[in-house]
């Protein structure tokens, strides 16, 4: 019995000696943890829960700069008109005026080209046209229309040159705007058509006296004369079978004889309608002037 007890005691002692010492294991773990933290410090700061709690009360706005730095450039708002270098209302108004005038000149050349082409087509048609009996309604048709056709063709060629020059001027202006560094959108700006507040404030108010109202009537006359004069020149050529000499009046005088081209009748109707519109517009202006204090005697 004693021998069995001694054997059991010896076995227990051997088993206990094979187990690692708890104190020894805790010390080893603490040493390894310190080494691990030292290695992490060499790479960068490690934030613990205690560190994070320090910043828990800070406002979220503190993180905003970091987001702005990483924000792609294309998502940032574009600078406003006032922030664009050298962009101000005066510069934009000047560029707008230049482009509007340049485009208006080009459009005027295109309109003139269309008018000349219609005129040429009509002259060619009149040259070939005959009545059902095969007789011409105009005496010596070829002598009348051939010179006018040749003259119209010359005008069309000159118009083509004017149109090409206007198109080139517009392209040059676009290139000048691009090299200046100004916004390319100024090409389509309509600022020049708007009232300039600074200029309007600096200009003294016009006195609406007799001279002022006479100038307004003169503006109406100039506008209608610009439409009527080409018609009268064309009418003179058809009736007299030759262009008007320099300084020679082209206004219609006397009655029309036999064999007058049909186009002359159409021109007379157009001139009459334009003069009627002119008189109506001038009468409306006179009524407005009297309502604003003008004297009736100013328009006699």
Tell me the average pLDDT across 241-269: 76
Residues 216-247 pLDDT 10s? 999 999 999 988 988 888 888 877 777 778 88
Q: What is the pLDDT of residue 244?
A: 77
Q: What is the pLDDT of residue 61?
A: 44
Q: What is the pLDDT of residue 179?
A: 94
On whether the CB atoms of residues 99 and 198 are closer than 8 A, the answer is no
Q: What is the pLDDT of residue 167?
A: 95
Q: What is the pLDDT of residue 78?
A: 46
Residues 128-184 pLDDT 10s? 775 444 444 555 677 778 888 888 899 999 999 999 999 999 999 999 999 999 999
Whose CA is closest to 267, among 224, 223, 230?
230
On whether the CB atoms of residues 226 and 274 are closer than 8 A, the answer is no
Tokens representing residue 225 in the block? 């004369």
Q: HEC profile for the chain? A: CHHHHHHHHHHHHHHHHHCCCHHHHHHHHHHHHHHHHHHHHHHCCCCCHHHHHHCCCCCHHHHHHHHHHHCCHHHCCCCCHHHCCCCCHHHHHHHHHHHHHHHHHHHHHHHHHHHHHHHHHHHHHHHHCCCCCCCCCCCCHHHHHHHHHHHHHHHHHHHHHHHHHHHHHHHHHHHHHHHHCCCHHHHHCCHHHCCCHHHHHHCCCCCCCHHHHHHHHHHHHHHHHHHHHHHHHHHHHHHHCCCCCCCCCCCCCCCCCCCCCHHHHHHHHHHHHHHHHHHHHHHHHHHHHHHCCCCHHHHC
Whose CA is closest to 212, among 289, 278, 150, 130?
289
Rg (CA), the chain: 48
Q: What is the pLDDT of residue 287?
A: 93
Q: What is the pLDDT of residue 76?
A: 46
Q: What is the pLDDT of residue 239?
A: 79
Residues 70-124 pLDDT 10s? 444 444 444 444 344 444 778 999 999 999 999 999 988 988 888 888 888 888 8
Say which residue, 258 or 174, is predicted with more confidence.
174
Residues 13-69 pLDDT 10s? 655 555 555 445 556 766 777 777 766 655 555 555 565 555 554 444 444 444 444
Report the C-alpha gap between 237 and 243 in whole angstroms: 5
Collect all residues with Cβ–Cβ distance below 8 Å to 97 and sequence separation of at least 6. Answer: 192
Residues 275-300 pLDDT 10s? 999 999 999 999 999 999 989 888 88
Q: What is the pLDDT of residue 41?
A: 56
What pTM was computed for the model? 0.47
């Amino acid at each position: 019995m004693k021998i069995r007890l001694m054997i059991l005691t010896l076995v227990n002692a051997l088993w206990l000696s094979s187990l690692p010492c708890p104190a020894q294991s805790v010390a080893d773990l603490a040493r390894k943890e310190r080494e691990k933290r030292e290695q992490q410090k060499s790479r960068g700061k490690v934030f613990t829960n205690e560190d994070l709690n320090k910043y828990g009360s800070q406002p979220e706005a503190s993180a905003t700069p970091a987001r702005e730095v990483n924000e792609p450039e294309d998502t940032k708002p574009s600078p406003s008109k006032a922030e664009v270098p050298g962009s101000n209302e005066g510069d934009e108004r000047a560029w707008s005026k230049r482009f509007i005038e340049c485009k208006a000149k080009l459009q005027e050349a295109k309109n003139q080209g269309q008018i000349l082409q219609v005129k040429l087509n009509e002259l060619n048609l009149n040259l070939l046209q005959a009545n059902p009996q095969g007789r011409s309604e105009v005496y010596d048709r070829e002598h009348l229309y051939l010179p006018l056709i040749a003259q119209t063709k010359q005008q069309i060629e000159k118009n083509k040159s004017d149109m090409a020059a206007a198109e080139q001027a517009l392209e040059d202006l676009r290139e000048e705007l691009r090299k200046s560094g100004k916004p390319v959108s100024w090409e389509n700006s309509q600022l020049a058509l708007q009232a300039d507040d600074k200029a309007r404030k600096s200009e003294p108010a016009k006195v609406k006296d007799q001279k002022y109202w006479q100038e307004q009537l003169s503006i109406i006359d100039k506008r209608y004369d610009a439409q009527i004069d080409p018609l009268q020149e064309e009418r003179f050529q058809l009736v007299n079978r030759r262009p008007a000499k320099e300084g020679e009046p082209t206004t219609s005088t006397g009655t029309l004889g036999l064999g007058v081209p049909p186009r002359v009748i159409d021109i007379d109707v157009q001139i009459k309608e334009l003069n009627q519109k002119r008189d109506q517009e001038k009468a409306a202006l006179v009524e407005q002037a009297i309502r604003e204090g003008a004297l009736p005697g100013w328009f006699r």
